[in-house]
Every structure is written in structure tokens, then in C-alpha cells.
Amino acid sequence: MAERVEPSTAVSVSGLFKRYGPRTAVAGIDLDVGVGEAFALLGPNGAGKTTTVNVCTTRSLPSGGRVRVAGWDVASQGVRVRRDIGVVTQHNTLDRSCSVEQNLYLHCRLFGMGHRSARTRTVELLETFRLASRARVDPTRLSGGMVQRLQIARAIAHRPRVLFLDEPTTGLDPQSRLSLWEQIDLLRREGTSVLLTTHHMEEAERLCDRVAIMDHGRVLVCGTPDALKRECGVDTVVALTLADPSAVPAARLSALAHVRSVDTVEGGYRIGTTAGQAHVAQIVTAALDGTILHLSVTEPTLETVFITLTGRELRD
């Protein structure tokens, strides 16, 4: 009988390294996802998010470190891990030779359910994921949003303890994204632990209790979205679009009191300040030479946190 540690965490990653030949994809990370928690790995392309998920879901072996999922060790207890997880990868892995309902039914049978329970579960999932009217159609005839709903429905059909979602809404239109977020909320309320990867900061913030920001195979920071934003040292972000940005040197803005960061963006600057909105006027005055076309004053986001940490934008 394989040894199992009753998990206090859904996912426990300790000193994980993953190398592909000379390339280090994950450079020694530590993470814990609590039972019932929704956790996001947020970062740009190539940060190491998918590699981390691949190790957690036993698709690839760690080069170093230890990973436990639902209490099982991914390297030595892979079969046990696989029974306790649901996985939605970045690719459409639906069986195109089967109908929508058969994709669900066969998954249930593969995970050991009898005919009757598999039928009942299939009907329940079709209803929950609003796919009942498409039950008999071929998955190639579904919209992108429906494909993702079906992939999630299938991933949770056997009631896994931990659900892994790799970029679940990439490529979806805003309405389908919102609808998928509602489905993920539902799973959360039912107590499923969720680890999702995304490069979409609103998604991380909207869906997850905690976020780890990754870059170049490392975790830069980890915490609740509110804590990360508080700790980034910026409380107001002023975005300026100028007719002539060259007339306003970045150094002039950086030299202003309470300005913490100045990033050059297309057509202007994004300025992080530490003095609330009280000092926006001094920024406006300093930028008048460039003729201001647009000005916005917002609170920091996870994007601000990423920029503060790396000097780069999260989006490509």
C-alpha cells in the first residue's frame, strides 16, 4: 500500500527544479495551496507556470525538489495523484469521435463509475455547465467557451480533490471568459482546491485567494492580491498619453516628489506614486510640454506589482 500523508495542503511544492537539457524552466520554487483554496500562478509566457503544473500533474518528473498533491508524492505515487486530480491543459483534449455527453460518460467510466452513476453524473454535469442542449453534438461544433466548459466538466467528473487549470480562458471572448469564471466560482464554493495558471491579472485577482507571481522560473512574490498591491509601494498609478512624449523626459517625472516609478509605454508614461491622488497636479504640470491627450488615475493592480518587480509589463 502506498504511503500517504493526510494533506493539510492540496499542493505542496518544495524546492522544485525542472531542467530541459541546459535550460532551467523552474529554478527552485516553493508553494503551498491550501485545501479549498484557489491559487494562481501569474506570469508572462515562459515564466515556468506550465512546467510547474506539468510536474504537479505527473506529466513530467521534477529534476529536483519535492511535490505532493493531495498528500501523494508526484514522483513515486503518480497513479494515486492522477486519481485525485482534474486537469485542463492549454490544448483541446476532447475526444472528437464522441459526442459531448459521451466525453463525460466515458471519463466517468474510466474513473471506475458504474453505468448508472456515470449516466447520472453526466446529466448533472451537462446541466451545471449549461451544455444539455448540446449533449448529442460533436465537440468540433462547440464554441471556444463551450469547449472549455466541457473540458472543465470532464476534469471534475470524478470529483477530484485538486483541479489544475492551465490558462483556462486564453483565446476566449470576454463574455465566454465571464461565464467560465462563474463556473470556476461554483467549483470553489463546493470546496474544490484550484491551481490555475494565467497571464491575465484580472483573472488571477477575480478568481483566486492567493497569487504567486512567476518570472524566469522563479516565484517573485506570493500573497493575497490585496497584500501584494499594498506591498508594492505604489498607491496611485497615473497613465499619461502625450502628443509628443519626447518633450517630457522620463527623468523630469522621476525627479518629482513621491514618484516611485516611471515606465515608458506606447505614447506616454505610466507613473507610480506613493502620495495618493494629491500629487497628480504636479505630474500634469510637469507633462504639459508634451500636450496631454489622455490622463487616467487608478489604484495599483497586479500588473503594477509585476512592473515594480521586473520593470517589464506582464502582457507580451
Ligand X SMILES: Nc1ncnc2c1ncn2[C@@H]1O[C@H](COP(=O)(O)OP(=O)(O)OP(=O)(O)O)[C@@H](O)[C@H]1O
Q: With respect to ligand X, which residue has the nearer C-beta, 6 or 316?
A: 316
Q: With respect to ligand X, which residue has the nearer C-beta, 18 or 134?
A: 18
Q: x/- binding map, residues 10-29, to ligand X, per CB under 6 A?
A: ----------x--x-x----
Q: Which of 8, 45, 76, 143 binds ligand X (CB under 6 A)?
A: 45
Of the listed pieces 41-49, 105-113, 263-271, 289-297, which binds ligand X according to CB under 6 A? 41-49
Q: Is 7 in the site for ligand X (CB under 6 A)?
A: no
Give least dist CB 17 to ligand X, A: 12
Q: Is 46 in the site for ligand X (CB under 6 A)?
A: yes
Q: How many residues does the chain have?
A: 316
Q: Which helix (H) or strand (E) holds 176?
A: helix 174-189
Give least dist CB 197 to ligand X, A: 6
Q: With respect to ligand X, which residue has the nearer C-beta, 51 or 273?
A: 51
Q: With respect to ligand X, which residue has the nearer C-beta, 51 or 176?
A: 51
Q: With respect to ligand X, which residue has the nearer C-beta, 48 or 168?
A: 48
> Which candidate, 126, 110, 135, 125, places its Cα nearest to that of 157?
125
Give least dist CB 111 to ligand X, A: 27
Q: Is 200 in the site for ligand X (CB under 6 A)?
A: no
Distance CA 19, CA 62 (A): 8
For residue 20, count other CB atoms closer than 10 A to its CB: 10
Report whether 53 contacts 41 (CB < 8 A). Answer: yes
Q: With respect to ligand X, which residue has the nearer C-beta, 7 or 217?
A: 217
Assigned C-alpha cell, 229? 498591491
For the four alpha carbons of 106, 107, 113 and 118, in that order, the dihedral sign comes to negative
Give least dist CB 164 to ligand X, A: 12
Q: Is 118 in the site for ligand X (CB under 6 A)?
A: no
Q: Is 43 in the site for ligand X (CB under 6 A)?
A: yes
Q: With respect to ligand X, which residue has the nearer C-beta, 126 or 180?
A: 180
Distance CA 2, CA 18 (A): 25
Give least dist CB 216 to ligand X, A: 8
Question: What phi-psi label fits residue 267: left (phi over 0), alpha (psi between -120 and 50 degrees) or beta?
Answer: left
DSSP states of 27-40: EEEEEEEETT-EEE
Give the three-state DSSP class for 156. helix
Give the three-state DSSP class for 279. helix
Q: Which of 9, 12, 51, 273 binds ligand X (CB under 6 A)?
A: 51
Q: Which of 9, 50, 148, 304 binds ligand X (CB under 6 A)?
A: 50
Q: With respect to ligand X, which residue has the nearer C-beta, 20 or 254?
A: 20
Q: Which of 29, 38, 47, 287 binds ligand X (CB under 6 A)?
A: 47
Report whether 42 contacts 213 (CB < 8 A). Answer: yes
Assigned C-alpha cell, 103? 466525453
Q: Cell 465571464 maps to which residue?
A: 178
Kindly calculate the radius of gyration of the chain based on its CA atoms and give it in whole angstroms: 23
Distance CA 92, CA 156 (A): 16
Q: Is 48 in the site for ligand X (CB under 6 A)?
A: yes
Give least dist CB 60 to ligand X, A: 8
Give least dist CB 276 to ligand X, A: 34
Distance CA 2, CA 7 (A): 15
Which DSSP symbol is given to 246? G
Q: Which of 13, 39, 40, 49 binds ligand X (CB under 6 A)?
A: 49
Where on the chain is the footprint of ligand X (CB under 6 A)? 20, 23, 25, 43, 45-51
